[in-house]
Structure 1
């Protein structure tokens, strides 16, 4: 019986770097069990003895200059039953409020505030209200244009959600952004549940305010806990992923918390960090093989 497993995931086309990482991993402890999840892309190295923290540090140091992600975790409870994911810059490649602000002529101002909030340099809620205020008077119809013309799911987003749902998991999208974006995007990618903020307005125009209470960092954490309780999913069977400082509470509360191409404050505290691979890495972390992916 294995105690922990190291998963090594390379950006496609980096077989040599993955081989170097594998060599370090297999030298770390006696009798490692190697399982290829995708030839030349992802491999599991399971150990019956050893220290996970030391293994992670040793393997990560060996590939520090190469596009290979390394995650060491307990071998038990890898297949998760609940996925809770951030939206902007995690499941999609954009920040929706920044793109919407472009239509109002305020993108540079809004994007600067967004960047500071995601880095944790300013508090999330006042930053949200400040950005929303700049959208006053904008037609709500513009949101559909933004989604159609500017919003794209990140690579692997649909495969991650579809594969987990096909294997009995529930997928929840929790965004500090807005339902006008999150609901259609959640449907597009395949989420079961969507939680986000609501933009106020009348007669088809935004009034620059956000409905209370705000879905901020603590609300994201509570969404994870509440959905786990509702579904009777144990803590160790939950997975959360995000990219910004406002995801720290949610990611820290999960059985496996993942920082995806994340800002430093989140990357420093997450159980796992994916800096090079796409979102299918979260399937490899759960032990899925490439031929098990549902697309």
Structure 2
């Protein structure tokens, strides 16, 4: 095989709950890419690499593979083979590492979930600016007892499948992980601890007499702060841009995703999925291990 620097890899990934990478799928995909394509199974039924010589246009390869796969629930990520195992990982929290939007769950306690969810959705699609939208939503939560947060975490917040395996496997290989969210420290602290992130960064809700004051501490951690966090950590660990990976689903993640060596839109809003380096629409977060070339037996579970 040629040097990794002369090769491109297309990774096919399915959701472990719905394995779809059959021998026939691999054979069909390899055939359409050409005779020089080699294939490697990373996880039976779940992930496989298709390796082909460079130069090759990643977007063109992705489009070709998505076209032949049709409606099959299979994601496709195309990138240079060299350097795809990342040393720094940044992740959004809401609707990425967890299945909910925490501020919407808080709003449900004051009977305003519909109104707040609409603002959240518009902000994540990039239709309105994130910072004023956050201030507007937080103001609606004034006087909500802070103890509600623990109840929400215990009864409503669910970790996205594959997330803990992703973070624990990267940590086991000596790499750094950071949860960076436009949400709130009251949530990112417990969530980061459950998943195993090295650190978390998010916004501080102002409290008064054990109740939410309806305000958030300035400056608000949003799009630019997420980007700044990536750049700061990259400099701290003396890493090249290509050694970093980020994942998110909303418009306030776009700058971070664009700056990362591999920026992944995870079950994302259409505009975010279209702009990111890679998109995962079907698989769970374990896909981010397979696109780095990890094999099933290397994944840290439990």
Task: Give the TM-score, by structure 2 length.
Answer: 0.94
Aligned length, in residue pairs: 295
RMSD, matched Cα: 1.4
Task: Give the TM-score, by structure 1 length.
Answer: 0.97
Q: Which residue of 2 aligns with 1:223?
A: 229
Q: Hey, what's the Cα distance between the residues in 2 that align with 1:129 and 1:15?
A: 43
> SS at the partner of 1:60?
helix
Question: What's the CA shift string for 1:34-71, capped at 9, x where partnerless?
Answer: 11001111100111245233211111111131100011
Q: Which residue of 2 aligns with 1:109?
A: 115
Q: Hey, what's the Cα distance between the residues in 2 that align with 1:122 and 1:216?
A: 13
Distance 1:122 1:56, change over 3 A: same
Tell me, which stretches of 5 or more residues in structure 2 are unaligned? none
Q: Hey, what's the Cα distance between the residues in 1 that align with 2:291 and 2:243?
A: 13
Q: Which residue of 2 aligns with 1:39?
A: 44
The one of 4, 8, 15 equivalent to 1:11 is 15
The one of 193, 198, 205 equivalent to 1:192 is 198
The CA deviation at 1:14 is: 4.5
Contact kept? 1:90, 1:154, Cα under 8 Å: yes
Q: Hey, what's the Cα distance between the residues in 2 that align with 1:91 and 1:143?
A: 17
> SS at the partner of 1:15?
coil
Contact kept? 2:164, 2:195, Cα under 8 Å: yes
Q: Which residue of 2 aligns with 1:204?
A: 210
The one of 248, 254, 264 equivalent to 2:254 is 248
Contact kept? 1:25, 1:59, Cα under 8 Å: no
- Given the alignment of the two structures, is residue 283 of structure 1 paired with residue 298 of structure 2, yes or no? no
